[in-house]
Chains A and B, each alone.
Chain A
């Protein structure tokens, strides 16, 4: 008999009403947190930073406005207005002040902000000049690294401007013993300390701060209990009144003490999840293995008949809705990169337990169903897959994939567990991994992983090779020699590696500077209460208190680099179709498709060079240079070169030679990183995924030797370049599995697009599951799917180059969507989403 009950539960009518309430108006910026924080900071000048943080946190917990939204069963909101956000000036603030008047009208993730809020924030911001983590980091980053950042080689923007986040805490511990239990642990730790210990004073200040934070959270929950009682008194509907009274009881009990019921467990979980995001602005606070740590409470209640499975599902669905109540306002540029108000709260179901047995339970299925019921982007829902995952579980996950919501993401235990062990995790910890944010694996409650530390554009070092280390006329990288002097592919590749190695060292420099800034200015005592072994060693995670410490910056553009290297190898050195000089000129001229902005940028570069060499640059010289640049435009030779490149074999089509080069190209990023250490004593580890930074950073990248035009997106994660994989999903997956996923222990991301026809019917689901499992057998580590919608197909009609690999399948026939005539495409668009193929 199965070890679980997978029967589907009904969706409560409440859920749609909760959703409606959440989306009834535009998200708003609220000033309360920033004001309360600043008020406290002004009173605590000169005290130890960790104590100042705790006092400020306490002030927020005691006075932040609270609200219970209509019909909620699980309460607690960081903002009065739904789906809105607080402000965190201790990390950075000037961007917001600059964008006060545009934040409401921008296209990506707009927020309403009232004049009153602006006024309050302006006043609070006056305190913060010179005191933020980003200002400290700026002063610590080496000038060479800053230069590379200015030229968009990499961007550590995430933690440079914001809190860190990217963590899964010990939810299980709070559920079990509550903050009263944690306070007991703190007191026990104090009992073991000797006043003569070298770290006595820092540790004691830190433990006080952690205890103060725990107390503050209990106070905050009690405020909700009181509000629930008050609301109940006014409530006329007796059912709702009883719900509110139960909510009040729950909030009096948790998170101060251990949870005694599934409802209390949901409430306790939610307080932890939300309050972590009030303490700091870091995103990717990931619930992790929710189906595991919540299960004992579910089972006890269902077994004893205290609640029905339907009610348990309703509570889960309520939690799912709440996860979408949290929001974060980013600066305009970052918002474009993270568009969709994403919080990246990754919640994962299934997989094996720490003893290597399958851990799938009722809740694993109910988590899938909650996502189906709620159909919102939060949580970032994932499933773990291993050799003994129940087939039924994978089919249920595939049903979710088929809806086109882009969830779940699939993760491979068989790659990730050994990969984590190679980074020093114990076998048990590695087996108990969950995913942070996008794709980053870690052991919950023990890790400060600095996942997502930076985005590194692997195409920029190639631009540097062509310009002997220069970008826009500035010497950004080492001088690797004039490309015209290279006589072999090996010469070129060696120069690329030299540029890579240097840029990686600068990337590390920037990450470490920011790391230090957070340790110094933004230690997080509340977070520290739920990460081992912060209490034991008297340090917050930022100060090195976690057991596992990493820094994980992301490389992206593997596909472009692989295709570029292959084109150079074949066309320049083997077939001698054109020279590197010709290629360089073609790239400078954007293959003969020069935009006005490109022309100006190139002109500026040449003019700077002239000026440096002592030439007097007047208007006439500038005009002459500009004319020379423009003359290059439209040269048919450049278009011809691009056509030859585009006709070459490309990564993503199961072709051994170019795939092998892709594997090696990925190593130019993943291997050099491994030798570096961070200030917390941990090591660097590479990720290969871009979130959506490949689009904005692609916009800053010139034409590349893979035929990519200037300013267009760079390839997504380890996926083939958009539209370059034209032999279907198995061939693409075969190519991607050629990479060494294990070494990229901070995660890899493989995105695949499907037309719904590929997943139609029961056999469609079966074949889909087989595809995922086969990719995983071949040691791929992550897969996610876009089942395309009508809207996407309409976009494909307009931008066929992006969708060249999209296949429409029917029996005995299949076609690349973009090759069909408009009328047939329309026909398919009309049939899409009926799954009647």
Chain B
């Protein structure tokens, strides 16, 4: 089948994204995820089902089926910006890599147009679902949320062994890998926890960059819109000073550490 007619399920395409890989990027948000992280700011991404979500401007249908061709048409509109800024297309989600066929076709088309590609992934899926995409990806932005598997499971519903294993394999493949840490109060925001993650990241061959993404409450409205409970309660967002302290801790492991990506 022609790549352009391959169908996938997404819930948004966002232009001028500046925190999701290098340069100015267009992010394609794919629907469906494996983890259920308590702090997730895109709760509408989790279920693969097309859902209805209440918003300030009425009820919105979240998720639609589209083709690679239609997505590419949108992505190509900003080509001049990618060229200037070293940007490109980032697949996000949800867990983008769940929709294997769609992702392969999309990445192949992007490559055919000379577009830089990146994925934001949990890497919480069998490596055989990750491996085929690696040659098509310029950068993998992968989360490592916690080194302690029990705590990982407690906050995300899944253990982390597979994730850590995949991190080693992706690094070994030679694909450019950046480790990202959503920095969540009560979960992983102590200096010790961040140090552990950074130490692991630094041990991966070729990994030299880590992003600490401060917890924010911007997803709150969407939980309400989906008639779900917000798992984080009234937790305050981490202060700039605290983030800077944690950044230095990560940096001390020999990595370039960035707040916010």
Residues of A within 8 A of B (CB): 654, 727-731, 734, 758, 760-761, 763-764, 766-767, 770-771, 773-774, 777-778, 807-815, 818-821, 823-824, 827-828, 831, 834, 836-837
B55 beta carbon closer than 8 Å to chain A = yes
Min Cβ gap A762→B in Å is: 9
B3 beta carbon closer than 8 Å to chain A = no
Min Cβ gap B162→A in Å is: 21
CA distance A764 to B221 in the complex (A): 27
Residues of A within 8 A of B214 (CB): 836-837
The answer to whether B85 touches A812 (Cβ under 8 A) is no
B19 beta carbon closer than 8 Å to chain A = yes
Question: Do A767 and B85 contact each other (CB < 8 Å), given the known contacts A731-B15, A814-B17, A819-B55?
Answer: yes
Min Cβ gap B116→A in Å is: 13
Residues of B within 8 A of A (CB): 14-20, 22-24, 27, 41-42, 55-57, 77-78, 80-81, 83-85, 87, 92, 120, 180, 211, 213-214, 216-221, 224, 237, 239-240, 243, 258-261
Best-buried of A727, A774, A778, A807 by chain B (most CB within 10 Å): A774
Select B16's contact among A728, A766, A773, beta carbons within 8 Å. Answer: A728
- Closest 8 A/B residue pairs (Cβ): A770-B85, A836-B240, A811-B19, A811-B261, A728-B16, A770-B84, A728-B15, A730-B16
The answer to whether B260 touches A767 (Cβ under 8 A) is no
Residues of B within 8 A of A767 (CB): 18, 23-24, 85, 87
A-B contacts, 8 listed (Cβ < 8 Å): A729-B16, A730-B77, A760-B260, A761-B258, A766-B85, A809-B18, A814-B14, A818-B56
CA distance A808 to B18 in the complex (A): 11
The answer to whether A824 touches B218 (Cβ under 8 A) is yes
The answer to whether A771 touches B260 (Cβ under 8 A) is no
CA distance A26 to B258 in the complex (A): 47
CA distance A836 to B247 in the complex (A): 13
The answer to whether A770 touches B24 (Cβ under 8 A) is yes
List 12 other contacts, CB 8 Å, given A810-B213, A836-B214.
A730-B81, A773-B84, A774-B81, A777-B84, A807-B16, A812-B120, A813-B216, A818-B56, A819-B56, A819-B221, A824-B218, A837-B214
The answer to whether B84 touches A821 (Cβ under 8 A) is no
Residues of A within 8 A of B57 (CB): 819
The answer to whether A836 touches B243 (Cβ under 8 A) is yes
Residues of A within 8 A of B211 (CB): 811
CA distance A770 to B82 in the complex (A): 9
Min Cβ gap A736→B in Å is: 14
Residues of A within 8 A of B240 (CB): 834, 836
Residues of A within 8 A of B220 (CB): 821, 823-824
CA distance A729 to B42 in the complex (A): 22
Question: Do A812 and B213 contact each other (CB < 8 Å), given the known contacts A727-B15, A771-B16?
Answer: yes
The answer to whether A811 touches B260 (Cβ under 8 A) is yes
Residues of A within 8 A of B216 (CB): 810, 813
The answer to whether A770 touches B23 (Cβ under 8 A) is yes
The answer to whether B260 touches A824 (Cβ under 8 A) is no
Question: Do A821 and B18 contact each other (CB < 8 Å), given the known contacts A761-B260, A813-B218, A834-B240?
Answer: no
Min Cβ gap A397→B in Å is: 16
Min Cβ gap A173→B in Å is: 40
Residues of B within 8 A of A778 (CB): 80
Residues of A within 8 A of B78 (CB): 730-731, 734
Select A815's contact among B17, B218, B260, beta carbons within 8 Å. Answer: B218
CA distance A654 to B84 in the complex (A): 19
The answer to whether A813 touches B42 (Cβ under 8 A) is yes
Min Cβ gap B141→A in Å is: 9
Residues of A within 8 A of B24 (CB): 730, 767, 770-771, 774
The answer to whether A810 touches B81 (Cβ under 8 A) is no
CA distance A811 to B25 in the complex (A): 12
B12 to chain A: closest residue by CB: A814
B18 to chain A: closest residue by CB: A767
Residues of B within 8 A of A764 (CB): 18
Residues of B within 8 A of A809 (CB): 17-19
Min Cβ gap A492→B in Å is: 30
CA distance A760 to B258 in the complex (A): 12
CA distance A771 to B42 in the complex (A): 27
The answer to whether B15 touches A837 (Cβ under 8 A) is no
Residues of A within 8 A of B237 (CB): 827, 831
CA distance A773 to B80 in the complex (A): 10
The answer to whether B221 touches A734 (Cβ under 8 A) is no
CA distance A837 to B213 in the complex (A): 9
Min Cβ gap A729→B in Å is: 5
CA distance A299 to B260 in the complex (A): 42
CA distance A777 to B81 in the complex (A): 10
Residues of B within 8 A of A821 (CB): 56, 220-221, 224
Min Cβ gap A787→B in Å is: 14
Residues of B within 8 A of A807 (CB): 16
CA distance A479 to B207 in the complex (A): 73
Select A777's contact among B80, B87, B218, beta carbons within 8 Å. Answer: B80
CA distance A807 to B80 in the complex (A): 21
Min Cβ gap B4→A in Å is: 19
CA distance A424 to B87 in the complex (A): 40
Residues of B within 8 A of A814 (CB): 14, 17
Residues of B within 8 A of A837 (CB): 214, 260
The answer to whether A808 touches B243 (Cβ under 8 A) is no
Residues of B within 8 A of A813 (CB): 41-42, 216, 218-219
CA distance A814 to B261 in the complex (A): 14
The answer to whether B217 touches A810 (Cβ under 8 A) is no
Best-buried of A730, A758, A837 by chain B (most CB within 10 Å): A730
The answer to whether A774 touches B80 (Cβ under 8 A) is yes
CA distance A150 to B111 in the complex (A): 60
B24 to chain A: closest residue by CB: A767
